[in-house]
Amino acid sequence: MLDKIIRIATRQSPLALWQAQYVQTRLMACHPGLQVELVPMVTKGDIILDTPLAKVGGKGLFVKELELAMLDGRADIAVHSMKDVPVEFPEGLGLVTICEREDPRDAFVSNHYASLADLPHGSIVGTSSLRRQCQLRQKRPDLQIRDLRGNVGTRLSKLDNGEYDAIILAVAGLKRLGLEDRIRAALTPEECLPAVGQGAVGIECRLDDQITRDLLAPLAHRETTLRVQAERAMNMRLEGGCQVPIGSYAELEGNELWLRALVGAPDGSQMVCGERRGPSENAESMGVDLAEELLANGAREILHEVYQGNAPK
Ligand SMILES: NCc1[nH]cc(CCC(=O)O)c1CC(=O)O
C-alpha cells in the first residue's frame, strides 16, 4: 500500500482547491505513507463565466473534464461540492463517498444592510441561482434580482464595486475560504431552503477501483450521507438535471429523517412545497415519494416551463 498514489482531479478555483486539499489531508491522515497528489484542470464551466449557467447547459460543465480524466486513468478521484454533482454519472464512474457536511445554509452578504428584512424597497440583489431567486422573489417581490457569476472572490468584488446592494452565497463556501466575516446573516431553511447537497463534499471514482474505494471509506460521514441521499433522490425523480429552481433539504434527528423540498417558478409567482418524515433507512424512497407529490401538485408544469426557456438554441 505504501507505493500507492491517489491523484485528485480538481478545478482550480480557490474553493475547488480547498476541497481537494481537504480530501488530500484527510486521506494522508487516515493512511500514513499514502501519497496523494492534485491534478489541476480547467473545465468548460470555468471558461464560460459570463453567461447565466442555466443558458449554457448547467452544472455538468464543471465536472465533465474531471470525469474524462478518471476514465482515461490520468486521475483516480474527483472531489465535488455535492450541489454541483449531476444526478447521473458516466458508465463506470460513481459517487462513492460523502464527507461531513459544513453549514448548509445560504448567506446574506451586504456592505450596508444586516439582513434581507433590512433591504430597502427595490434593492438590487445578486444571484444566478434560480432556487435563490424564486425564494427571494416570493418573499420580496420588490427586489431586483441580477445575475452574478464567477468564483466566490469575484462575486464579492462585484458586491464591493457597488453593483449590488446584497448578494447571496453559500455559508459553506465562505467559511472554507476564511471569509466568514462577510456573512451578515445566515438564511434559515424557512427563508431559503438550501440546494440539494449544499455544504457537503463528495468523492467520485471509478467503480471498479476497489483499492481506492477502500482507502476512501473512512472519509464517509453516515449522517450526511443519509441526508444527501434523500435530497438527491428527490432531485433525481424530478429530473433536476441542469440548473433548476429546486430546494431540497434533509435533517436527521436520531434515526428520523425530515426532508423538505420546494419547486418554484423563477419569478416567484408560484411555489410548490412539501415534506416527509420517516426512518432514515427509507431516505431514498422518501425522496422519490416527495418528488412525486410535488410533481402532482404543479411542479411538473413549473419545471417544464423552466426547461423550455433554457433549451439550447
Ligand atoms: N454554485 C457554486 C458553489 N458550489 C458550491 C459552493 C459552496 C457551498 C457548497 O459546498 O455547497 C458554491 C458557491 C455558492 O453557492 O456560494
- Tens digits of residue pLDDT in 113-124: 999 999 999 999
pLDDT of residue 308 exceeding 90: no
Of the candidates 77, 283, 99, 84, the one whose C-alpha atom is nearest the C-alpha of residue 200 is 99
pLDDT of residue 305 exceeding 60: yes
Of the candidates 160, 170, 158, the one whose C-alpha atom is nearest the C-alpha of residue 131 is 170
Of ligand 1's listed atoms, the one at least distance from the Cα of 200 is 10
Cα separations in angstroms, 244 against 10, 20, 231, 256, 304: 24, 26, 14, 28, 11
Our CA angle for 116, 16, 36, nearest 5°, is 150
Residue 270 carries which side chain, given as an amino acid letter?
Q
77 lines ligand 1 (CB under 6 A): no
Distance 55 CA to ligand 1 centre (A): 19
* Enclosing H/E stretch for 68: helix 64-72
pLDDT of residue 309 exceeding 80: no
81 lines ligand 1 (CB under 6 A): yes
Pick 57 or 154 by higher pLDDT.
154
Selecting among 3, 46, 76, 84, the annotated active-site residue is 84
173 lines ligand 1 (CB under 6 A): yes
pLDDT of residue 8 exceeding 70: yes
225 lines ligand 1 (CB under 6 A): no
ipTM of predicted complex:
0.94
Average pLDDT rounded to a whole number, residues 300-310: 85
Percent of the chain with pLDDT over 70: 93
| Residue range 256-277, pLDDT digits in tens | 999 999 999 988 899 999 999 9
Average pLDDT rounded to a whole number, residues 47-61: 58
pTM of structure: 0.92
Does 103 participate in catalysis according to the annotation?
A: no
Distance 3 CA to ligand 1 centre (A): 34
Q: CA dihedral defined by 294, 296, 301, 306, rounded to 10 degrees?
A: 30
Span of 54-58, 114-118, 209-213, 252-256 with lowest mean pLDDT? 54-58
Extract the C-alpha cell encoding 211. 483499492
Span of 18-32, 46-60, 160-174, 234-248 with lowest mean pLDDT? 46-60
Give the model's pLDDT for residue 313.
35
Average pLDDT rounded to a whole number, residues 101-125: 98
Sheet arrangement for strand 256-264: 246-253, 256-264, 271-279
172 lines ligand 1 (CB under 6 A): yes
pLDDT of residue 160 exceeding 50: yes
By most ligand atoms within 8 Å of CB, the mutation choice from 83, 98, 100, 201 for ligand 1 is 83
Contact present, 203 and 81 (Cβ < 8 Å):
no
DSSP 218: G
Average pLDDT rounded to a whole number, residues 211-235: 97
